[in-house]
Amino acid sequence: MYPSILALGVILIEIATKQLFRYERLDYLWDETTINDYYEWAWTIANCSNLGNMIRAAYEVVVNNCLDAELFKDGLIDPSKFDEDLEIRQSRLYEKVEVSKPEIPISQNPPQTEQTRLVSRSRFTIAIFCALPLEADAVSEVFEKILDEEVKDYHKAPGDDNIYTLGKLLHHNVVLVYMAGMGKGAASQAASTIRSSYPEIKLALVVGICGGVPLYVAGEEDLVLGDVVISNGIVQYDFGRRFLDTFLSKARPEIAGPKLRGLLAKLKGLGCQKGSLVPRKRLQEASANGCPLSPKIHFGLFGSGDIVMKSGQHRDKTATTHDLIAFEMEASGVWDILPCLVIKGVCDYADSHKNKNWQHYAAATAASCMKAVLEECAIGDW
């Protein structure tokens, strides 16, 4: 008959134990026909939560009074006199609770339990996957805060072999995942395990370096080293059949889901502000004007596979066949497991001239672009 007071008692328990309580057999609204079930549930929760070791005695008295149906047993039950009934209940609760004036209601350092750690880990909603240490270093540099001090409260779940750095980035709590190696196998294993420790991951970002197609869309778009590519989708181009004299690809584009497509539509403004439009032949024009070349953001399909592309001829053939603008090796391992966006800086042209000279710069441009993306990303709307 007193759901509001019962609700207060449940909230006080949740505050004390730092965890939310859900009762699987009570998924309906509180009303006069179910309130006894909720009283029984609340008492069980209070007795199983070991409140005495977590809160001061005065606080425990408050909780017990909220759950004490006998406190209001001679109160009014006439629905037509609800206001009067409520006033009587409030007065009795005040006399029983407020007059006692508890000094410090909650212990300042309650012991950590697996349930409270799980609630803490549920605060993390974005995972950032990096295959190389230089990629992870660039990502961690843009964090506002690395949660080294708090990490003991967010420890991994049993059986999770991933290595993480936890951090704050803008208004997001993020998990940086250090993959065991390159390729879709390592990426798939890392993505399959992460939700055992961080169950509320809503978005995966695969961030780092890639090989770019210098001229794409029939030579109409100019892509240079240091530019950033953001995925509209991926193509697992090495999936197919190998014959004696040829390879027949069976790959099909895997396009981002509707929510990610909406985000991508918003993000395309990152690279096309009127004051930042970059014409073709960017390198020649920048050199002629004596100006440093600014990175440009491109949106398109990534080719994702376990093959390191080092042939300009095969690069162009594969890119033309699948409408690709860049090549990388991890996204296909994450894409089918988590909602995924790939953000990678171009460090080479995926040909025989491949070297490592641009890797650190490309990783830094990708990390900076990732931060700009997250500034536009509201996880709560997903």
**pLDDT tens readout for residues 56-70:** 666 777 777 777 766
pLDDT at 257: 82
- Residues 304 and 297: their CA atoms lie apart, in Å, by 19
pLDDT at 162: 93
CA 28 distance to own-chain centroid = 30
Structure token digits, residue 140:
């961690």
Structure token digits, residue 236:
């697992």
pLDDT by residue (tens digit) across 72-89? 665 555 656 656 666 666
- Residues 285 and 163: their CA atoms lie apart, in Å, by 44
CB 322 within 8 A of CB 359: no
DSSP states of 86-111 as a string? Answer: HHHHHHHHHHHHGGG--S--B-SSPP
pLDDT by residue (tens digit) across 331-344? 999 998 999 999 99
- Residues 84 and 181: their CA atoms lie apart, in Å, by 69
Phi, psi angles (nearest 5°) of residue 143: -65, 140
pLDDT at 177: 96
Identify the structural domains of the chain with CATH numbers, from first to last.
Answer: 3-100 (no CATH), 116-381 (3.40.50.1580)
pLDDT at 73: 61
Structure token digits, residue 72:
């209001």
Structure token digits, residue 370:
């990732």
pLDDT at 152: 59
Structure token digits, residue 198:
């961080």
- Residues 337 and 108: their CA atoms lie apart, in Å, by 40
87-112 as b/e, with b when 16 or more CB fall inside 10 Å? eebeebbeebbeeeebeeeeeeeeee
pLDDT at 276: 41
DSSP structural state of residue 380: G
Alpha carbons within 13 A on the beta-carbon side of 378: 4
382 residues of the chain, pLDDT tens digit each: 566 677 777 777 777 766 665 555 555 555 555 666 666 666 666 666 555 556 666 677 777 777 776 666 655 556 566 566 666 666 666 665 544 444 444 444 545 554 455 557 888 999 999 999 999 999 999 999 888 666 655 678 888 889 999 999 988 899 999 999 999 999 999 999 999 889 889 999 999 999 999 877 655 678 899 999 999 999 999 887 777 677 777 778 888 888 888 888 888 877 544 444 444 466 666 666 666 678 899 999 999 998 889 888 889 999 989 999 999 999 999 998 999 999 999 999 999 888 899 999 999 999 999 999 998 876 555 5
pTM for the complete prediction?
Answer: 0.66
Cα dist. 24→13, 21, 28, 29, 264 in Å?
18, 10, 10, 13, 38
CB 41 within 8 A of CB 69: no
